[in-house]
Amino acid sequence: MARNRRQLSGPSITFLFLALLLHFDSGTSDLQLNYYSESCPRAEEIIKQQVVNLYHKHGNTAVSWIRNLFHDCMVKSCDASLLLVTANGVESEELSSRSFGMRNFKYVDTIKKAVESECPQTVSCADIVALSARDGFVLLGGPYIEMKTGRRDSKESYATMVEDSIPNHNDSMSLVLSRFESIGIDAEGTVALLGAHSVGRVHCVNIVNRLYPTVDPTLDPEHAEYLKRRCPSPEPDPKAVQYARNDLETPMVLDNMYYKNILSHKGLLLVDQQLVSDPTTSPFVEKMADDKGYFHDQFSRALLLLSENNPLTGDDGEIRKDCRYVNV
């Protein structure tokens, strides 16, 4: 008794009280591992199964899941606002020019349907966006990362914020770094995340400014010839599906080829090439080009930070029935 009293006296009580206060005040990270362990124990397994099935039918879905996480989480919050279509006063974020080329949204619905049939209105679309990126990364050759869940879905779209959140293909590196810094991702993490451009494609609209009227001198001349063959017109028809692949050697592997490519001036976007010329980012580029394990560690770390940006939790937001529409 006496011992207990001593332990809880004076400073320790104050400390406990402060700790409790801090605990209840830290609203930002109410995400937790296995959030659905009781409400829908097989949720993560079902999502993974669907991601694997879709990958075997349409390999590039895995690529889309990685880009979706960036475009959802970077804009305000990881809240599936990205998925909302234009309807009932909602203006879709997909209409922004920053979202150009995004694809496979209909297969998010495939995943959601599978989850809904086991656990109706329990698992959020925001968690599907996050977990599908995690599982897609594995299919693209990355390590498996544990990811917290418990995100809820937004009741609105943030279409007007997209351009201020997602950098453009030709923005300066200092702007790019400050955007990521604003959500707690440092230069090393930013360099790693851009390694996502080791997979997938870029449409000609995002490349031609480096080819016409004159070829950007920071572009490898032979690679420029290849890109000109892929994009023969300085004004590509936005409806024509003309694009170049990011990585010609391992286009479907999220490996460190990206860094080797940009070091040999074969990056497609101006921002890709600037990672090499900017003194803040170039040391990380060299290190990632040399060491795939280090790249994967940094990519995983930064992907988790991205996936935990400002989520809606608790009673905020909702669990959408259909990922493309706010509940009625």
Ligand X SMILES: *[C@@H]1O[C@H](CO)[C@@H](O)[C@H](O)[C@H]1NC(C)=O
Q: Does the annotation place 25 within a ligand binding site? A: no
Q: Is 149 helix (H, G, I), strand (E, B) or coil?
A: strand
Of 130, 143, 176, nearest to 294 (Cα)?
Answer: 143
Say if CB 304 and CB 66 are below 8 A apart. Answer: no
170 binds ligand X per the rule CB under 6 A? yes
If we measure between CA atoms, which residue out of 162, 46, 53, 149 comes closest to residue 107?
Answer: 53
Q: Does the annotation flag 120 for ligand binding?
A: no
Q: How far from the centroid of its chain's Cα atoms is residue 42's Cα? A: 24
Q: Decide: is 300 part of the binding site for ligand HEM (CB under 6 A).
A: no
Amino acid (1-letter code) at residue 126:
A
Selected from 168, 218, 250, 282, the binder of ligand X by CB under 6 A is: 168
Residue 48 interface partner, choices ligand HEM, ligand X, none, CB cut-off 5-8 Å depending on type: none
Q: Which of residues 136-175 bind ligand HEM (CB under 6 A)?
A: 167-169
Is residue 169 annotated as a catalytic residue, yes or no?
Answer: no
CB of 118 to ligand HEM, least distance (A): 29
Residue 99 binds ligand X, judged by CB under 6 A: no
Chosen from ligand X, ligand HEM, none, partner binding at 209 (C-beta under 5 to 8 Å by type): ligand X
Indicate which of ligand HEM, ligand X, none lies near residue 43 (CB less than 5 to 8 Å, by partner kind).
Answer: none
How would you classify the pairing of strands 201-203 and 243-245?
antiparallel
- The answer on whether 23 is annotated among ligand-binding residues is no
**Where are the extended beta strands (E) located within 154-268?**
201-203, 243-245
208 counts as binding ligand HEM under rule CB under 6 A? no
Q: Does 199 bind ligand HEM (CB under 6 A)?
A: yes
Complex with ligand X: residue 168 or 310, whichever CB lies closer: 168
Site string for ligand X, 174-213 (x = CB under 6 A): -----------------------------------x----
**In a 3-state reduction of DSSP, which class is residue 152?**
strand
Report yes or no: 205 and 193 within 8 Å, Cβ to Cβ. Answer: no
Count of residues for the chain? 328
Q: Of 58, 71, 169, 223, which is the active-site residue?
A: 71
Q: Is 218 in the site for ligand X (CB under 6 A)?
A: no
Instruction: Report d(CA 226, CA 245) in Å as an integer.
Output: 11
> Is 271 a binder of ligand HEM (CB under 6 A)?
yes
CB contact set of 25 (below 8 Å; sequence gap of 6+): none
Q: What distance in Å separates the CA atoms of residue 51 and residue 253, rounded to the nearest whole number?
A: 16
By CB under 6 A, name the one of 58, 103, 155, 292 that touches ligand HEM: 103
Known binding residue 247? Answer is yes
Which residues are CB-neighbours of 306 under 8 A, at least 6 positions away? 69, 70, 73, 74, 78, 183, 185, 193
Please classify residue 323 by burial: count the beta carbons closer than 10 Å to its beta carbon, then call 0-12 exposed, 13-18 middle and 19+ buried.
buried
Residue 194: partners with Cβ closer than 8 Å, 6 or more residues away: 258, 271, 272, 275
203 marked as binding residue: no
Cα 14 to Cα 240: distance, rounded to the nearest angstrom: 66
Question: Do the annotations mark residue 75 as ligand-binding?
Answer: yes
- Exposed, middle or buried by CB within 10 Å (0-12, 13-18, 19+), for 108? buried
Does residue number 230 form part of the binding site for ligand HEM (CB under 6 A)? Answer: no
Nearest approach, Cβ of residue 246 and ligand HEM (Å): 7
Least Å from the CB of residue 207 to ligand X: 10
255 marked among binding-site residues: yes
> Interface with ligand HEM includes 197 (CB under 6 A)?
yes
Q: Which residues contact ligand HEM (rule: CB under 6 A)?
A: 63-64, 66-67, 70, 100-101, 103, 167-169, 176, 193-194, 196-197, 199-203, 206, 269, 271
Binding-site residues for heme b, in ranges, read: 197
Q: Which residues contact ligand X (rule: CB under 6 A)?
A: 168, 170, 209
Binding-site residues for substrate, in ranges, read: 167
The catalytic residue positions are: 71
